[in-house]
């Protein structure tokens, strides 16, 4: 399906996003260029800045403030329309869309918004009439067939619905969308045999179908009494994604639970599902802002759709809108398949927002609540490491390991994380064993190679083996400043100072403000007689917030220099 998303460049046509500033847009353009009254300039510029940093709520409000001063400005109306949708203020967006249509009755984005408002009101004929006036260009090649199909379902015209959907099958790469929504429609209207065939085709795609689609197909089989087939589908998902809560719940249900209701039980939910599918595909292509727009539209029609709520929250989370993200995560019921993941995200974000104690409390409670899972323990262990509570982190990771029936390849990150906590807690023999086991499970993993090799070098042991490991790690990840620094440091510790200078200079180019790397380069400069440059790097290191023990060592070096010759037995 990836080939289809080459259409992404044209998606702005459908929702007017070309009028919305992105990261590359010059938000400082003069207000005079846009015809904004001088009294609204400040609000306009504030809105453009908020757009650049993806702060949806203030951006929308500032744009509305600018509109107060220039109410007929078409550019401001366009921007406000999109920003209100991405902020979840659909009712206000409808008001702006109607103002846009009074100026330009053929405006595609405004027509889409007003059509969705008609769907909200149950006026499906009006929505259909408005959508039929739009051109099949850009994303509308996908949006319009889906919307018109479900509007026909709403008006009890299932054959016409499937006919409207067929043009989607002609868009390269969107055949799974066609089969999925054909299956949902067939299932809803009771055409069981046709639904079974459409679900089969939708799930039979190269690279595997999305879990959402697989869930729908499996649930259909359950409702038809074909539990063994449903169980086989869920089991395959768990083989590929062993931690999938949705698949685990579904598999358990096939052993005695009641068949679930349809995911899509009416036409409005079908439209919301289609909008979520489009948003999800855009999210996979890293187009977060467009994905957010379609996910918000889905929620305008179906405010309690958990997958759309989670997607909006995730996008806000990644845009740094942490409080807003947590408010969205909190809307997901804890007993749904996404409820657990939402609670984990909330706890992580509480730490980000400065309330680490509450995050630790919640994660501890979750770890005790679900003794069959390790994800809460992994998150708790990471948080404890960040807080430098290393002994507690080790104990937490020990609990996680104790819940694993067997140490398999996929658990190498757990051993790596525990190894770090053990090393920082001064439990080196156990740490070394975890690093070696992690490398056994995931050979040549660059981060593990780096951490283990650097630790050996720092302890004055296994220099040759460490050098080979770091050569390999740099080969695998040549643009990692930390890994390049480790290679430079092993060269320094083995007396190859000239070579160390060259490698460490490269590390500083990659990570110019890391106090450890700057300190290492200063040490290497001193050893080759570049005294002034050494002191310069040590001063730079001091200015970049070194750890307290490193700060004391840097101050000593600036005062006394390096008096002990570098060798395999001594460092800086």
504-527 confidence digits (pLDDT tens): 999 999 999 999 999 999 999 999
CA-based nearest residue to 534, from 547, 521, 548: 521
The confidence score (pLDDT) of residue 139 equals: 83
The confidence score (pLDDT) of residue 34 equals: 52
Residue 250 contacts residue 215 (beta carbons within 8 Å): yes
Q: Reply yes or no on domain 445-572 having CATH 1.25.40.10.
A: yes
Residue 176 contacts residue 1 (beta carbons within 8 Å): yes
Which residues, in sequence order, are bridge partners of residue 570? 567
130-137: average pLDDT: 91
The confidence score (pLDDT) of residue 6 equals: 32
Other beta carbons within 10 angstroms of residue 547's beta carbon come to: 10
Q: Give dist(CA 424, CA 286) in Å, integer.
A: 36
Angle at 128 between CA 127 and CA 132, to 5 degrees: 120
CA-based nearest residue to 279, from 254, 302, 246: 302
Residue 572: pLDDT band with limits 50, 70, 90 = very low
550-555: average pLDDT: 95
Phi-psi region of 54 (alpha: psi -120 to 50; beta: other; left: phi over 0): left
The confidence score (pLDDT) of residue 285 equals: 74
Average pLDDT, the chain: 89
User: Phi, psi (5° rounding) for residue 255?
Assistant: -90, 5
The encoded tokens of residue 366 equal: 């979750």
Residues in the chain: 572
Residue 35: pLDDT band with limits 50, 70, 90 = low
Angle at 291 between CA 289 and CA 297, to 5 degrees: 105
How far is Cα of residue 264 from the mean position of the Cα atoms in its chain?
26
Mention every residue, 6+ apart, whose C-beta is less than 8 A from residue 327: none
Asked if the domains at 1-121 and 445-572 fall in one CATH topology, the answer is: yes
Pick the CATH number of 1-121 from 3.40.50, 3.40.140, 1.25.40, 3.30.1370: 1.25.40
The encoded tokens of residue 171 equal: 């868009």
Residue 168 contacts residue 177 (beta carbons within 8 Å): yes
Q: Give dist(CA 3, CA 162) in Å, integer.
A: 24
User: Phi, psi (5° rounding) for residue 129?
Assistant: -60, -45
CA Rg value for the chain: 29
Q: Alpha helix (H) ranges present in 122-226?
A: 124-132, 140-154, 158-165, 175-189, 192-203, 211-223
The confidence score (pLDDT) of residue 32 equals: 44
Q: Give dist(CA 570, CA 572) in Å, integer.
A: 7
User: Phi, psi (5° rounding) for residue 568?
Assistant: -70, -15
Q: Is the pLDDT of residue 173 over 90?
A: no
Percentage of the chain modeled with pLDDT above 90: 73
CA distances in angstroms from 322 to 24, 55, 56, listed in the order given: 23, 11, 12
Q: Is the pLDDT of residue 24 over 60?
A: no
Q: Is the pLDDT of residue 386 over 70?
A: yes
CA-based nearest residue to 220, from 246, 171, 254, 178: 254
Q: Convert the pLDDT of each residue in 198-245 to its tens digit.
A: 999 998 877 677 888 888 999 999 999 999 999 998 888 888 888 888
The confidence score (pLDDT) of residue 336 equals: 85
The encoded tokens of residue 192 equal: 């069981």
Residue 134 contacts residue 146 (beta carbons within 8 Å): no
Residue 337: pLDDT band with limits 50, 70, 90 = confident
The confidence score (pLDDT) of residue 25 equals: 37
SS3 (DSSP) at 567: strand
CA distances in angstroms from 290 to 139, 222, 287, 305, listed in the order given: 11, 35, 6, 18
- Return the domain boundaries, the chain: 1-121, 445-572
Residue 300: pLDDT band with limits 50, 70, 90 = very high
């Amino acid at each position: 399906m990836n080939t289809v998303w080459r259409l992404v460049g044209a998606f702005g046509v459908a929702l007017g996003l070309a009028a919305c500033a992105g990261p590359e847009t010059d938000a400082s353009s003069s207000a005079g260029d846009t015809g904004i009254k001088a009294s609204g300039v400040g609000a306009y510029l504030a809105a453009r800045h908020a757009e650049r940093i993806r702060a949806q709520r203030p951006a929308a409000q500032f744009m509305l403030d600018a509109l107060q001063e220039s109410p007929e400005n078409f550019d401001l109306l366009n921007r406000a329309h999109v920003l209100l949708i991405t902020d979840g203020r659909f009712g206000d967006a409808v008001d702006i869309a109607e103002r846009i249509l009074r100026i330009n009755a053929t405006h595609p984005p405004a027509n889409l918004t007003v059509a969705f408002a008609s769907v909200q009101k149950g006026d499906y004929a009006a929505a259909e009439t408005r959508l039929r006036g739009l051109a099949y260009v850009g994303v509308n090649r996908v949006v319009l067939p889906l919307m018109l199909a479900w509007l026909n379902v709403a008006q009890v015209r299932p054959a016409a619905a499937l006919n409207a959907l067929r043009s989607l099958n002609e868009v390269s790469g969107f055949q799974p969308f066609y089969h999925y929504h054909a299956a949902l429609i067939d299932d809803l209207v009771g055409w069981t045999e046709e639904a079974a065939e459409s679900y089969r085709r939708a799930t039979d795609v190269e690279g595997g179908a999305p879990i959402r689609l697989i869930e729908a197909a499996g649930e259909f089989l359950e409702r038809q009494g074909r539990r063994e087939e449903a169980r086989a589908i869920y089991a395959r998902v768990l083989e590929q994604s062993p931690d999938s809560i949705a698949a685990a719940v579904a598999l358990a249900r096939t052993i005695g639970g009641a068949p679930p209701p349809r995911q899509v039980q009416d036409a409005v939910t079908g439209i919301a599902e289609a909008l979520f599918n489009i948003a999800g595909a855009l999210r996979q292509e890293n187009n977060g802002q467009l994905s957010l727009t379609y996910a918000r539209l889905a929620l305008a029609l179906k405010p309690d759709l958990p997958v759309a709520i989670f997607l909006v929250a995730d996008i806000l989370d990644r845009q740094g809108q942490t409080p807003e993200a947590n408010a969205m995560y909190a809307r997901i019921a804890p007993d749904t398949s996404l409820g657990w993941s939402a609670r984990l995200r909330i706890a992580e974000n509480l730490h980000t927002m400065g309330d680490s104690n509450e995050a630790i409390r919640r994660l501890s409670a979750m770890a005790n609540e679900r003794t069959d899972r390790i994800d809460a323990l992994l998150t708790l262990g990471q948080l404890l490491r960040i807080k430098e509570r290393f002994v507690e982190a080790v104990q937490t990771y020990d609990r996680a390991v104790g819940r694993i029936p067997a140490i398999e390849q996929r658990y190498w990150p757990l051993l790596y994380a525990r190894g770090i906590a053990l090393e920082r807690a001064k439990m080196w023999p156990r740490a070394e064993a975890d690093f070696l086991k992690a490398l056994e499970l995931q050979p040549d993993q660059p981060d593990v190679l780096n951490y283990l090799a650097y630790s050996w070098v720092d302890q004055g042991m296994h220099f040759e083996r460490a050098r080979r490991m770091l050569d390999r790690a740099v080969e695998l990840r040549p643009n990692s400043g930390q890994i390049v620094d480790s290679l430079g440091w092993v060269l320094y510790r083995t007396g190859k100072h000239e070579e160390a200078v060259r490698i460490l200079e490269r590390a500083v180019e990659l990570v110019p403000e890391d106090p450890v790397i700057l300190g290492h380069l200063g040490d290497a400069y001193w050893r080759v007689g570049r005294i002034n440059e050494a002191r310069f790097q040590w001063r730079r290191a001091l200015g970049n917030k070194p750890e307290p023990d490193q700060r004391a060592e840097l101050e000593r070096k600036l005062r006394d220099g390096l008096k002990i010759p570098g060798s395999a037995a001594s460092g800086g």
